[in-house]
Structure 1
């Protein structure tokens, strides 16, 4: 035994002496030229090792290496593609005999990477394969060799290596990526990373801290997590992830963003929570949310369950100074297909709420589909325009007509500005929206059903159906944005609608009442307000029943006409200024900035009104001539007898502008009509007297008596 111990001791002494002699006699720094030569041969680049290389042989094999630089070719902004100040790596010797790879602490100090793409597209990453790659590229392509036949492995060969790592430490690392061709710059000013003792099948802790900038955006982040690598090296898990980040540029400031994850493993559900607060132009926000996340084991499908987001928004650019946004959804994203599906979606912005489903297909032109519904949407209340509209209308009325016909004065630029419809060319969108109660522009609708699509620069409203003021509406519209100016076409059928409450709500105008059927068919070029007024063309057919025109009392005007013909003053009777009718019809033609009609017809048991005229859509002026005739012998409005004017047609002019139409008698036409009636009556009397009296009818006394009788009738 003593001899064996002495023999082992001798071997140990020889080994130690041999290693000592190796370290003493062989300087590893003498290998620097050989290492640089091999790197040059493999990559075509220079490797400069300025620091010393020191070896460790027992109890671990490893090295320490000082400052090292991997050079760039000429013409780049920095001389080095990669560099570091100090690096260390070691492997324990004895465990290797038991198929255990125990790596000591791996450290890298002062590492830096610089990548640049020049304006001509050349990058300092190009040509790293050196001459060997160039030579191989010039050789003709060879058929791939058949894979060697694998030999059966023994049980010993099948035994897996056990790997452990004492830790990883990266300190004060940095990176810079320049793209002169794209004009972009991304810089990592500082990167620190540590990994605690690690071994497959055991949890370890990783921590990081990073700060940098991209263009004008500066950012920083720090966090930690626990990491587990499966014993067979075929899977990984993380848990207790926490991340805090911030970002800022000249207009945006993400003050704080936090993300936490309980545990992540492929095929299992994880819980994520997040919170973000910051500011962007004209908006400050605070957002928080949570979701359950699962990525399938094939890494093809990402699923979200119970995703929730709540945000508090403040800013002058919002419809309201402060708003609350909420979102709930279940979603899936297929990575291979680029397809995101929202199986259930609930979105709320203050009192506005929508629910339904949607999908998004990633492509050069994204494909979006949706099916949404809501119980109630009041856009006026949401936008705060319900009261503002009435106030604006009153102010407009007080201002008179000085603004009318001045589209090129204040606000003229906006009236000539075409809307930006470029988005219509970048989407393939189709969907449906159903709303039980809807209010917009102060108009109330119910049971609203909307179907629309956007594709190839065309917006197609295939159907808008709704209940409207005891009636119904069906509308279609199409906007084509492919030309120099957009073109549009729209149709609308309104049936059985109560006109007065609609006009009161929409236009604050109660001039007209009745049950209306309206058919609209219009088209045009240009969507700027001024162009629409100038270029719109088409027809509007109006059929109203059982209504009234407010603001004018035509029977009263008839009595005034009768008094005027007699040279008298009409008796004043206090009664409402309105004219009842049983039917009103008209066809309005739109062309060249003018809406005109030649077949306005209003009927009632008492009177008949017909007229013609036009209104300028550009200047908002009115010029109509209306003729009113008494067609029955009965008491008119106010209880006055009008039998005496049963054959009288009263001409009425309607002029002025849309906000203040003016009604007046056409006295000249009335007097002309009176003279024509008097002459006709005189001729009829003369013919009657001739038949009755024969030659005696020519007697002067009889003529005087007939003239006196006629004057009594017309005065």
Structure 2
């Protein structure tokens, strides 16, 4: 037993003597010039070690290194590319005998990295590892070859007990691009670095990029692997915040159960914050997988819900829910969505789509919805009549200059030049501007600043609509073209819903072919040109009773007042046709044709699109029958043409007899009848027809007829 104790004591004594000898005979600071020389040779840069290098023997052999700086070439904003205040490193001695390099905890305090790119494009990272020897040849390749030749035949096993970076900072400055990124503080801890083993890591970083401030911290467990495709990660937890003068992402959290190439990862996330005029709070979950070749990322069962508030929204507050599967192809930079289901308050959409990142992003959308009430969604359900009945605040009308300014304002169409879009939309029921459509099918594209609606088909008030349109935003002012075919539409409910106007009823066919320049209200009215053709059947014109006006005409011709008959103020028709030519702010027609069992109506006139004033003359002729609207009283003035003026404006048309034309017509008829009577008397009485007495009798008979 004593021998064993003496042996151990001897070993300890030898170790102590060795350490004392090492401290006494080997000063590590004497290696500083050699280290600096080797760094200079390898990098071409100066290494300045101002601090001392000292031995450390517990719990393992190691070194403490003081303040050290790695210089930049001349011409850069800071003297050092990299520096640190203090570093610690330890190595286990005995494992070295077995080709095992077991490094203890590596600790770096007060580290700083400065990377700069000058306006010329030169960087302080250029030339590292390419230093030249005295002959001017590149030594890096030679050194590599020598190292390879001298490499030990038996591979070394490497393990690192841990890495600790404390109070580090970094600056990445690009004068050519005008960007500046600063890491003000970085703390990083890696518990153990050993291939094939799990280790814990954590970090805490704060910094800024321009005006953008950021901070993030997190922790995870990771498997150190020799190849990236075998690396693993689990129990990831990340918290981050970002803000600048306009945006404030107050909180972003991400939790991932595990990550390994080719396997699914469960992810939960949440983000809240504020951008201009919008506050948001979103939470969600999904499953993610990346293929081993690092080419495709699959997202499955993405489920996100968000609460939104802000002035940019169509409503002050909105709730959005999104569910979808997705695939992202890294090489093509293309994301594809499938099984998409989106709920925006009461609006629900399903479909699929894709997005390809490019200078002009390529977007493809295929969406469907059972019911979209755009008026309810936008809060515009109140009818125009209700809005008109609501007095303006303070009892004052809006000021004219502000209204005029709004009418001249062109919409911003710059977005049409920033996207390549093709969309197909199907909607079961759709309501907009109080118009009700069903079975809506829409196809449109946007490319190179041109919006092309190749088709819009829908059912509309017991009829149908087919429309195409093109909008080109490439000129100084946008140009447009619209073609629309409406067939079999019930006009009265359509006008009531859209314009709160009940002036017309019937089954209508409408053909529209219009084009123009400028999309402000005033330019549309002034510059629109083309044709508008209408063909209505089995309807009525409300607000005017032409048979009643004919009775008034008959009474007027006789100098009497018409008897009052209580009838609805409308005029029935079996057909109504007209073609309007539009141009220079005016819509005009010369072929108004209205037929009914009682009436034959033709007319012409125009309406000013700027002032909305009406100026039409309608000539009404009677059918010689007592059947239909008006009864037998109308027979007394059969073959009489009644001229009617249509004045007023679009919302309040006014109808009235054109008395001047009516009286002129009456005088012409009387003259014509007098000539016919005189010709008949001459044939009947011969020379006696010229007798004054006979003429007086004939005149009295004619006056009785026309009065």
TM-score (norm 1): 0.91
Give the 5 Å matches for 1:556-571: 556-571=548-563
Q: Which residue in 2 is equivalent to 1:256? A: 251
Equivalent position of 1:72 in the other structure: 72
- Kindly report which structure 2 residues correspond to 1:129-148, keeping only aligned pairs within 5 A, or say none: 132=132
Residue 110 of structure 1: aligned partner: 110
Distance 1:299 1:464, change over 3 A: same
Give the match for residue 205 of structure 1. Answer: 200
Partner deviation per Cα, 1:534-584 (whole Å, 9 max, x = no partner): 111111111100011111111111111111111111212221111111101
- Name the counterpart of 1:710: 702
C-alpha deviation, 1:506, in angstroms: 0.8
- The match for 2:95 is 95
Q: Trace 1:12-91 onto structure 2 (pairs within 5 A).
A: 20-56=20-56, 60=60, 62-91=62-91
Range with greater deviation from structure 2 (690-699 or 705-714): 690-699
The aligned counterpart of 1:675 is 667
Q: Counterparts of 1:62 and 1:197 in 2: how far apart (Å)?
A: 17
Query: What's the counterpart of residue 604 of structure 2?
Result: 612
Q: Residue 635 of structure 2 corresponds to which residue in structure 1? A: 643
Are residues 134 and 250 of structure 1, via their aligned partners in 2, closer, same or farther at CA, if it must alter by over 3 Å? farther
Q: 1:58 to 1:257 in 2, by over 3 A?
A: closer
Mapped contact 2:190–2:200 kept (Cα < 8 A) = yes
State the distance in 1 between where 2:219 and 2:547 align.
89
Q: Does 1:409 align with 2:404?
A: no
Q: Does 1:351 align with 2:346?
A: yes
Alignment of 1:528-677 (within 5 A): 528-635=520-627, 637=629, 639=631, 641-677=633-669
Q: Which residue of 2 aligns with 1:486?
A: 478
Report the Cα offset of residue 629 of structure 1.
1.3
How much has 1:130 moved relative to structure 2?
Answer: 6.1
Q: 1:596: Cα distance to partner?
A: 0.9
Q: Give the superposition deviation at 1:327.
A: 0.4
**Cα deviations by residue, 1:140-171 (Å, 9 ceiling, x for unpaired):** xx9x9xx99x99x9xx967x654332211111
Please state how far the C-alpha of 1:120 moved relative to its aligned partner.
Answer: 4.5
Of 429, 440, 445, the match for 1:448: 440
Q: Which residue of 2 aligns with 1:386?
A: 381
Q: Name the CA shift for 1:626/1:374 in 2 (closer, same or farther; >3 Å).
A: same
Q: d(CA) in 2 for partners of 1:398 and 1:222?
A: 53
1:415, distance to aligned residue in structure 2 (A): 2.3
TM superposition shift of 1:518: 0.7
> Which residue number corresponds to residue 125 of structure 1?
125
The answer (yes or no) to whether the contact 2:616–2:645 under 8 Å persists in 1 is yes
Change (3 A) 1:395 1:586: farther
Q: Deviations over 1:272-304 (max 9, x none)?
A: 001122222222221100000111111111001
What's the offset of the Cα at 1:132?
3.0
Q: Which residue in 2 is equivalent to 1:289? A: 284
Q: Which has the larger displacement, 448-457 or 492-501?
A: 448-457
Q: 1 CA distance for matches of 2:656 and 2:134?
A: 96
- How far off is 1:689 after superposition? 1.3
Q: Which residue of 2 aligns with 1:277?
A: 272
For structure 1, the 5+ residue unaligned runs are none
**Structure 2 residue matching 1:569: 3-state secondary structure:** coil
8 Å Cα contact 1:575/1:638 also seen in 2: no
- Closer, same or farther: CA 7–138 of 1 in aligned 2, 3 Å: closer
2-side partners of 1:221 and 1:16: how far apart? Answer: 47
CA shift, 1:77, in A, is 3.5
SS at match of 1:605: coil
Distance 2:138 2:477 in 1: 55
Q: Report the counterpart of residue 263 of structure 2 in structure 1.
A: 268
What is the CA–CA distance in structure 1 between the aligned matches of 2:393 and 2:293, rounded to whole Å? 71
Match of 2:457 in 1: 465
Q: Distance in 1 between matches of 2:28 and 2:654?
A: 107
| Whole-angstrom distance in 2 between the partners of 1:115 and 1:535 | 59
Q: Distance in 1 between matches of 2:599 and 2:134?
A: 101
Instruction: Measure how far apart 1:641 and its partner are.
Output: 1.0
CA-CA distance at 1:650 after TM superposition: 1.2
Q: CA deviation at 1:429?
A: 1.5
Q: 1:221 to 1:336 in 2, by over 3 A?
A: same
Corresponding residue for residue 371 of structure 2: 376
Hey, what's the Cα distance between the residues in 2 that align with 1:616 and 1:32? 94
Q: Flag the 1:220–1:413 CA change in 2: closer, same or farther, 3 A.
A: same
**Aligned-partner Cα distance in 2 for 1:399–1:534:** 33
Report the counterpart of residue 494 of structure 2 in structure 1.
502
Local SS of the residue matching 2:486: strand
Task: Return the match for 1:215 from 210, 213, 232.
Answer: 210
CA distance, structure 1, for counterparts of residue 404 and residue 226 of structure 2: 74
Q: Tell me how far 1:233 sits from its aligned partner.
A: 8.0
Shift of 1:425: 2.2
Residue ranges of structure 2 left out of the alignment (5+ in a row): none
Cα deviation, 1:356-385, whole Å, max 9, x if unaligned, reads: 111122223222212111111110010010
Taking a change above 3 Å as real, the CA distance of residues 257 and 46 of structure 1, as seen in their structure-2 partners, is same
> In the alignment, which of 506, 512, 521 is matched to residue 514 of structure 1?
506
Which residue of the other structure, out of 301, 305, 311, is the alignment partner of 2:306? 311
What's the secondary structure of 1:344's corresponding residue? strand
Give the equivalent residue in structure 2 for 1:523.
515
Alignment of 1:682-701 (within 5 A): 682-701=674-693
SS in 2 for 1:200: coil
Contact residue 231 and residue 260 of structure 2 kept, 8 A: yes
Indicate conservation of the 8 Å contact 2:534/2:579, yes or no. yes
CA distance in 2 between partners of 1:137 and 1:609 (Å): 104
Q: Report the 3-state secondary structure (helix = DSSP H, G, I; strand = E; otherwise coil) of the residue aligned with 2:171.
A: strand
2:477, 2:62 → 1: CA distance?
Answer: 73
Structure 2 contact 199–224 (Cα < 8 Å) conserved: no
- Aligned counterpart, 1:367: 362
How many residues align? The count is 701
Q: Shift in Å at residue 127 of structure 1?
A: 4.3
Contact kept? 1:613, 1:625, Cα under 8 Å: yes
Deviation at 1:325, TM superposition (A): 0.1
RMSD (CA atoms)? 3.3
Tell me, in whole angstroms, the C-alpha distance in 1 between the residues paired with 2:133 and 2:322: 54
CA contact (8 A) 2:384 2:500 kept: no
* CA deviation profile, 1:639-685 (whole Å, cap 9, x unmatched): 46111211211111112222222212111111111111111111111
State the alpha-carbon separation in 2 of the partners of residues 187 and 398 from structure 1. Answer: 53
What secondary structure, in the 3-state scheme, does the structure 2 residue paired with 1:695 have? helix
> What secondary structure does 1:642 align onto?
helix
DSSP-derived class of the 1:386 partner: coil
CA distance in 2, matches of 1:647, 1:632: 7
